[in-house]
Amino acid sequence: MTRRAARTSVRESFERSYAAGLGTHVRQGGPGAVKARIGPLAATLRIGILPLARIHDRAVASLSLTPASAARQEAFFAAAVAQIEQANCGTPEALLAFARLAARLGRRTGELASARARLAEQTTRGRSLRAELDAHAREQDACLDRARVMEKRLRRLSHRLLSAQEDERLRISRDLHDAIGQELAGINVGLAALKQGAAADSRELGTAITLTQQLVERSMKTVHHYAWELRPTVLDDLGLVPALRSYVKAFTSRTGIPVRFGSSSKATQPDADRSLALFRVAQGALSNVERHARAKRARLSLKAVPGAVRLEVSDDGRSFDVHGMETAKKERHLGLLVMRERVEMVGGTFSIVSSAPRGTTVRADVPLPTAGAPE
């Protein structure tokens, strides 16, 4: 071992002895520095006052001493300095001067320990605030991601709705042209024949009149059907229950699928917006029964539940994957999304249960407005 390494080892051993003596003195009191002979050992190793102050500061930090023990820390350091000067000088004046210096250094050491404690506390608070800021930043990023996803979904739904609206307009236009246009053309031909054969046989005239009347009746039924599809007047005039009963009757007559309708006497009549939402759900659900379910029969019910009105449409037809249908991008599945949107727009909840062999049940719960609440 070299001489320099040996000095370093001896100094480290002295620092450990100093820290041990300081800790014992702070915990138990008494002449710790004198008993441990810190001063003479420091004088032997030629450790001056300033290096001893640095050693004292490191010992305080390593022992994690509190500012409450500053007086004992100062006393220990002062006793060590007095021992050093006694070993070096031996005069009372020098001892007194260095004792005063030791006292000032001890006070500074206590102040540094207090400042270190405050700095540690502020560092801990800073780390806590940084953690909170990071958590808020992550939460904000998650909210932004959800908002982007919702914006994308709304944009896609808006495009699909516009496309579906144009398709529906095209269908109505073609149906009006094919059905009512042809019937009106037939009426026109019949009227022309009546005009030409006014002086002919009365029996032929009666037959022509009958055919023309039949064309007029079919035209009226076609117009009535499209009026029902667009906006049933009975819903505004008589309310939800008569409108549903009339629609069920027309649906069964048109499709041949028997639908049993039931309405609870306790079911409160919803307002216009909620009634329209429930009617459209029934209309869309029965349309799916007609086009996709291959059902033999269906059931429509309207009943009261706590704080709401519940509409259910069930059938005994084929089941399907509800989640896959609602998230599919095909336009033919848009009706499910539209029904859900209608119900949620009036504050309700919408659900579909489909399983073999029970078929499918569409449920819409629409809350009733509370007394005094704004519509």
Model's pTM, two decimal places? Answer: 0.49
pLDDT digits (tens, 9 = 90+) for 146-192: 888 888 777 777 667 656 666 666 666 666 666 666 666 777 677 67
| pLDDT at residue 310 is higher than 70 | yes
Tokens representing residue 268 in the block: 């409160």
The pLDDT value recorded for residue 350 is 92
Q: Closest by alpha carbon to 73, among 45, 16, 114?
A: 114
First-to-final CA distance of the chain:
93
Give the up-direction half-sphere exposure of residue 112: CA atoms within 13 A in the CB hemisphere: 16
Residue range 2-53, pLDDT digits in tens:
777 777 787 888 888 888 887 888 877 665 555 557 777 777 777 877 788 8
Instruction: Kindly report, residue by residue over 218-240, the tens digit of the pLDDT.
Output: 777 777 667 666 667 778 888 88
Calpha distance 25→345 (Å, rounded): 76
Residue 346: closest CA among 366, 371, 369, 373: 366
The domain 232-367 having CATH identifier 3.30.565.10: the answer here is: yes
pLDDT tens for each residue of 317-366: 887 777 666 565 554 566 788 888 889 888 899 999 888 777 899 999 99
Amino acid making up residue 188: N
**H-run or E-run covering 234:** helix 233-237
